[in-house]
Amino acid sequence: MAAFELPALPYAQDALAPHISAETLEYHYGKHHQAYVTNLNKLTDDNADGKSLEDVIMSADGGMFNNAAQVWNHTFYWKSMSPNGGGAPSGAVAEAINSAFGSYDDFKDKFSQAAATQFGSGWAWLVDSGSGLEIMQTSNADLPMKHGAKALLTIDVWEHAYYIDFRNARPNYISTYLDSLVNWDFVAENM
């Protein structure tokens, strides 16, 4: 029996359309995310010893780290979006963002800039660094927990996240994510 399994999406594969198509999810979730799970299981074989995914991430390097972290990152990314998402947050999340960034518009500008300028493949994150909310960029499979920060929200800026729907227009994907998909309820749960 495999130690790690592909978690179910928190919504139907076509639920994010027209913003993110079922075809994108078929490839991104069904092929890319599944491949990370399959590769992680091959690398851990029976050596996971009941470790959690987080334990593997924190103790691994090389291919095992890359696959474990990408399983975690993608699972977190799916939860960072909602078919009913987008727009400015409210309540405690809005207060925390206003306190850290001055306003939602300033947060949106900084988050969009981090996502747009992440060179190559990677992620932009809203994190709790322990001393407040911050925006973080990570390359490839890297993630906030390796840097002592708690992830609150992420956007995947690997090309496979947006290329079918947005081609090379990463800024359009980022603005669509913020305007129509971001799941502030998930951020509230993480806070």
Domain span holding position 36: 22-79
99 with 72, same domain? no
Tell me the whole-structure pTM to 2 decimals.
0.95
26: domain CATH number is: 1.10.287.990
Q: At what angle do helices 91-101 and 104-117 cross, to 10 degrees?
A: 70
Per-position pLDDT tens, the chain of length 191? 458 999 999 999 999 999 999 999 999 999 999 999 999 999 987 666 678 999 999 999 999 999 999 999 999 999 999 999 999 999 999 999 999 999 999 999 999 999 999 999 999 999 999 999 999 999 999 999 999 999 999 999 999 899 999 999 999 999 999 999 999 999 999 99
Q: Is the peptide bond before 171 cis (omega within 30 degrees of 0)?
A: no
Total structural domains within the chain = 2
